[in-house]
Amino acid sequence: MNNIDKLKQKKAEALLGGGEKRIASQHKKGKLTARERIDLLLDKETFEEIGMLVTHRSTDFGMEKQKFYGDGVVTGYGKINDRLVYVYSQDFTVFGGSLSETHAKKICKIMDLAMENGAPIIGLNDSGGARIQEGVVSLGGYADIFYKNTRASGVIPQISAIMGPCAGGAVYSPAITDFIMMVEQSSYMFVTGPNVVKTVTHEEVTSEDLGGAEAHASKSGVTHFTAKHEADCIKQLKKLMSYIPQNCEDKAPIYEYELGNEQRAKLNHLIPENPNQPYDMKEVIEEVVDEDSFFEVHKQYAENIVVGFARIAGRSIGVVANQPASLAGVLDINSSKKAARFVRFCDAFNIPLLVLVDVPGFLPGTDQEWNGIISNGAKLLYALSEATVPKVTVITRKAYGGAYDVMNSKHIGADLNFAFPNAEIAVMGAKGASEIIFRKEIAASDNPEKKLAEKEAEYKEKFANPYRAAAHGYIDEVVVPTDIRLKLIKGFKMLENKVCNLPRKKHGNIPL
Q: Around Cβ 291, how many Cβ atoms within 10 Å?
A: 8
Judging by beta carbons within 10 Å of its beta carbon (0-12, 13-18, 19+), is residue 395 exposed, middle or buried? buried
Is there binding between residue 78 and ligand HXC (CB under 6 A)?
no
The reply on whether position 167 binds ligand HXC by CB under 6 A is: yes
Per the residue annotation, which of 51, 123, 164, 168 is the catalytic one? 168
Total binding residues for ligand HXC by CB under 6 A?
A: 16
Catalytic member of 169, 265, 365, 444: 169
Among 58, 90, 98, 158, binds ligand HXC (CB under 6 A): 98
Q: Is 96 in the site for ligand HXC (CB under 6 A)?
A: yes
Which of 102, 237, 96 is CA-nearest to residue 165?
A: 96
Q: Which among 42-50, 94-102, 278-286, 335-343 is the span making contact with ligand HXC, rule CB under 6 A?
A: 94-102
Q: Which range in 90-98, 224-232, 289-297, 371-379 contacts ligand HXC by CB under 6 A?
A: 90-98
Distance between CA atoms of residues 102 and 70, nearest Å: 9
Task: Give me the half-sphere count of Cα atoms (radius 13 Å) on the Cβ side of residue 310.
Answer: 27
* 131, 216, 338, 410: which one binds ligand HXC (CB under 6 A): 131
Residue 179 makes contact with ligand HXC by CB under 6 A: no
Which residue type sits at 131? R
Site residues for ligand HXC, 11-70, by CB under 6 A, read: 22
Whole-angstrom distance, CA of residue 306 vs CA of residue 175: 21
For 503, other C-beta atoms within 10 Å of its C-beta total: 5
What's the distance, CA 154 to chain centroid?
A: 13
Q: Which is nearer to ligand HXC, 22 or 460 (CB)?
A: 22
Q: Which helix (H) or strand (E) holds 107?
A: helix 101-117
Binding mask 454-493 vs ligand HXC (x if CB under 6 A, - otherwise)? Answer: ----------------------------------------
User: How distant is the alpha carbon of residue 89 from its chain centre?
Assistant: 21
List C-alpha distances in Å: 89 to 32, 98, 123, 482: 11, 12, 6, 47
Q: Is residue 169 involved in binding ligand HXC (CB under 6 A)?
A: yes
Span near ligand HXC by CB under 6 A; candidates 34-42, 125-133, 257-265, 413-421: 125-133
**Cβ 66 to ligand HXC, closest distance in Å?**
8
* Side-chain-facing half-sphere of 254: CA atoms under 13 Å: 12
Considering only 68, 95, 243, 474, the residue that binds ligand HXC (CB under 6 A) is 95
Q: Give the pairing type, strands 305-312 and 158-162.
A: unpaired
Report CA-CA distances (Å) from 417 to 135, 200, 357, 452, 488. Answer: 56, 52, 11, 33, 10
160 touches ligand HXC by CB under 6 A: no
Task: Answer for the pair 96, 68: CB distance below 8 angstroms, yes or no.
Answer: no
Q: 402 catalytic, yes or no? A: yes
222/172 Cα distance (integer angstroms): 11
Among 63, 84, 108, 139, binds ligand HXC (CB under 6 A): 139
Q: In the bound complex, what is the minimum distance in angstroms from residue 65's beta carbon to ligand HXC?
A: 12
Pick 144 or 483: Cβ nearer ligand HXC: 144
From the candidates 118, 314, 402, 413, give the one annotated as an active-site residue: 402
Q: Which range touches ligand HXC (CB under 6 A), out of 46-54, 93-101, 216-224, 391-399?
A: 93-101
CB of 202 to ligand HXC, least distance (A): 21
HSE-CB at 335 with a 13 A cutoff on CA atoms is 25
Asked if 360 touches ligand HXC (CB under 6 A), the answer is no
- How many residues make up the chain in this entry? 512
Shortest reach from residue 92's CB to ligand HXC, in Å: 7
Q: How far is the CB of 222 from ligand HXC (least distance, A)?
A: 16
Tell me: does residue 174 bind ligand HXC (CB under 6 A).
no
- CB-based contacts of 145: which residues, under 8 Å, 6+ apart? 104, 107, 108, 111, 173
96/123 with CB nearer ligand HXC: 96
Please name the helix (run of DSSP H) or strand (run of DSSP E) that holds residue 268, with its range, or none. Answer: helix 267-270
Contact region for ligand HXC (CB under 6 A) — 124-132, 231-239, 339-347, 503-511?
124-132
Instruction: Tell me if 129 contacts ligand HXC by CB under 6 A.
Output: yes
Choosing from 161, 167, 403, 433, which is the catalytic residue?
403
CA–CA distance, 475 with 507 (Å, rounded to integer) = 31
Closest CA to 417 of 355, 343, 501, 351: 355
Query: In this chain, which stretch among 31-39, 168-176, 395-403, 440-448 interacts with ligand HXC, using CB under 6 A?
Result: 168-176
Specify whether 129 is catalytic. no
Catalytic residue flag (residue 30): no
Q: In whole angstroms, how far apart are CA 218 and each of 301, 334, 475? A: 5, 11, 35
Q: Looking at this protein, which amino acid is placed at residue 231?
A: A
CB of 120 to ligand HXC, least distance (A): 24
CB of 162 to ligand HXC, least distance (A): 13
From 131-139, 350-358, 396-404, 422-430, span contacting ligand HXC (CB under 6 A): 131-139
Q: Find, among 201, 126, 202, the residue nearest to 164 by Cα.
A: 126
In the complex, minimum distance from the CB of residue 128 to ligand HXC, in angstroms, rounded to a whole number: 2
Nearest approach in angstroms of CB 129 to ligand HXC is: 2
Please list the active-site residues: 168-169, 402-403
Binding residues for ligand HXC, rule: CB under 6 A, are 22, 95-96, 98, 128-132, 139, 142, 165, 167-170
